[in-house]
Amino acid sequence: KRLILLILLSAYGLSSSAQTAIDEDQLGAWYMYFFNTKFKDSQFGIQGDYQYRSWNLGSDKEQLLLRTGLTFTPKNAGITFTMGYAFISSGGFGEDNINIIENRIYQEALIPQKLGGRFYLTHRFRYEQRWIEDLDMRTRYRYNLFINVPLNKPSLEKKAVYLALYNEIFINGEREVDANTSVPFFDRNRTYLGLGYGLRDNLRLQSGWMKQTTNNWAKGQLQFSLHHTF
């Protein structure tokens, strides 16, 4: 099992002599639900996302990710802090039945910014502590720049059509996974372009294409997401 585990994790960017069997030309798909809410008359709230990621358009599981965090927004600070937990179940590409479990704790800072009348930017800084079965705990640093640009409305409101872009870079902290395996400094990069539509003032539907690049492979993914504030 440990050898199979290392082969799978090599496909996710670990240093290994094992060759991956990932078909980089095959289009995958991610189905996602994002939510956030604030407790009444409080600076605290919750946010999270639930995702099913497939190597193809649905039947070949890449990952099931369930993530929820407690948020705190200081008054007049223009920033939101989050501490949370994620459960991840990862499958191998194609016909194999590998299933690897990861438990993760994360902390993040979310900084919204508006440029001009229509450019809505969000900077997200995230620090993760990751426990992948049979391997040592390791950490990862992430930075994501989101840009949303309404096309027919002044804001991301009901019936707004908007352009959605982001780029996220992942950098590994601890390099040694165990006595025989290490990860590179660069983990991966994700670049996304999509369109969104405001179903309500607090509910947006979004779809687009994302290119994920690691040291070992690069692959395109369709993304379908629902963004809910309540």
Tell me the mean pLDDT in the region 109-125: 96
Residue listed under structure tokens 């996304």: 192
Q: What are residue 178's DSSP bridge partners?
A: 181
From the list 124, 145, 143, the residue with the least C-alpha distance to 187 is 143
Rounded Cα distance between 86 and 66, Å, is 6
Within a 13 Å sphere around the CA of 225, how many CA atoms are in the beta-carbon half? 25
Q: Which has more pLDDT, 117 or 6?
A: 117
Tell me the mean pLDDT in the region 27-41: 97
Segment 178-221, tens digit of pLDDT: 777 788 999 999 999 999 999 999 999 999 999 999 998 999 99
Task: Please give the CATH architecture assigned to the domain spanning 2-17+29-229.
Answer: Beta Barrel (2.40)
Q: Residue 5 has what pLDDT?
A: 52
Q: Residue 17 has what pLDDT?
A: 35
Within a 13 Å sphere around the CA of 207, how many CA atoms are in the beta-carbon half? 3
From the list 82, 172, 78, the residue with the least C-alpha distance to 130 is 172
- pLDDT bucket at 170, cuts 50 / 70 / 90: very high
Domain positions in the chain: 2-17+29-229
Q: Measuring CA to CA, how many Å separate 35 from each of 20, 30, 132, 134?
A: 34, 16, 26, 32
Q: What percent of the chain has pLDDT over 90?
A: 79
Q: Residue 149 has what pLDDT?
A: 98
Lowest mean pLDDT among 13-17, 103-107, 201-205: 13-17
Q: Residue 134 has what pLDDT?
A: 82
**Do 204 and 156 touch, CB atoms closer than 8 A?**
yes
Q: Residue 181 has what pLDDT?
A: 79
Q: What are residue 207's DSSP bridge partners?
A: 195, 224
pTM to 2 decimals? Answer: 0.91
Q: Residue 196: is it exposed, middle or buried by C-beta count within 10 angstroms (0-12/13-18/19+)? A: buried
Segment 44-65, tens digit of pLDDT: 999 999 999 999 998 899 999 9
Tell me the mean pLDDT in the region 135-142: 93
Rounded Cα distance between 91 and 63, Å, is 6
From the list 102, 122, 104, the residue with the least C-alpha distance to 113 is 122
- pLDDT bucket at 174, cuts 50 / 70 / 90: confident
Residue type, 181: T
Q: Residue 4 has what pLDDT?
A: 47
Q: Residue 61 has what pLDDT?
A: 95
- pLDDT bucket at 18, cuts 50 / 70 / 90: very low
Q: Residue 12 has what pLDDT?
A: 52
